[in-house]
Amino acid sequence: MKLLISLVLSMIMFFSCSLGNKQISQMKKEEVKNKVKKIEKTNEEWKSILTDNQFYIMREKGTERPFTGKYWDVFDDGTYRCAACGNELFKSDTKFDAHCGWPSFYEAFDSTKIKTADDYKLGYKRTEIMCAKCGAHLGHVFPDGPNPTGLRYCVNSASIELDTTKSERKDDKK
């Protein structure tokens, strides 16, 4: 019985993933178009700016343990910026509770802010997400998110900083 349930669940996952997969390949095409001015620093320089934990996650591509970061269950309004360089990465209104223990978003701030790379470290393909400006590792994007994008940007809390000051967002000017 358990086997049947998991089979049905994985079928559902498979079909809901196809939307997200299309989105991920679209993102990769847009990245080529969007060349952002980059920040480059040596590891020594990053070590003097970041905490040990941030350095491990953002420069050495580590992962914080689920349910331990400071943002997995925060739903305050604001803009999530890169903790290393301040680049705007996500808007709080695209954050959703994915029950996975990491902050999750269904959309990037815009298509210029985040770059991606294929990651086979766990033996299968995942799509790594990085800050397009400073190259900091953020987490991964998965094709199992909610509508409207079907994407789940799964991010380490250590890589982001919530800015609650009112920014001049287009959708605020109503």
- Using CB under 5 A, pick the residue from 98, 130, 131, 154 that binds Zn ion: 131
Q: How far is CA 32 from CA 27, 115, 129, in A?
A: 9, 9, 15
Per rule CB under 5 A, is residue 134 in the interface with Zn ion?
yes
Give the strands of the sheet with 126-131, arranged side by side: 95-96, 104-105, 152-155, 137-142, 126-131, 114-119
Per rule CB under 5 A, is residue 136 in the interface with Zn ion?
yes
Interface with Zn ion (CB under 5 A), residue total 8
Per rule CB under 5 A, is residue 130 in the interface with Zn ion?
no
CA–CA separation, 9 vs 12, rounded Å? Answer: 5
Query: Where do the H-state alpha helices sit in 62-166?
Result: none
Applying CB under 5 A, the span of 5-13, 26-34, 133-141, 159-167 interacting with Zn ion comes to 133-141
Per rule CB under 5 A, is residue 24 in the interface with Zn ion?
no
Per rule CB under 5 A, is residue 85 in the interface with Zn ion?
yes
Per rule CB under 5 A, is residue 137 in the interface with Zn ion?
no
Residue type, 61: K
Residue 61 CB partners (closer than 8 Å, separation 6+): 128, 137
Shortest CB 10 distance to Zn ion, Å: 35
Active site (annotated) includes residue 154:
yes
Query: Nearer to Zn ion by C-beta: 17 or 47?
Result: 47
Q: Are 138 and 160 in contact (CB under 8 A)?
A: yes
Shortest CB 131 distance to Zn ion, Å: 3
Applying CB under 5 A, the span of 63-71, 74-82, 115-123, 156-164 interacting with Zn ion comes to 74-82
Give CA angle at 97 (90, 170), nearest 5°: 30
Give the footprint of Zn ion on residues 86-105 (CB under 5 A). Answer: 87
Per rule CB under 5 A, is residue 160 in the interface with Zn ion?
no
Kindly report the number of other CB atoms within 10 A of residue 73's CB atom. Answer: 10
The residues binding Zn ion (CB under 5 A) are: 82, 84-85, 87, 131, 133-134, 136
Q: Give the residue numbers marked as catalytic.
A: 154
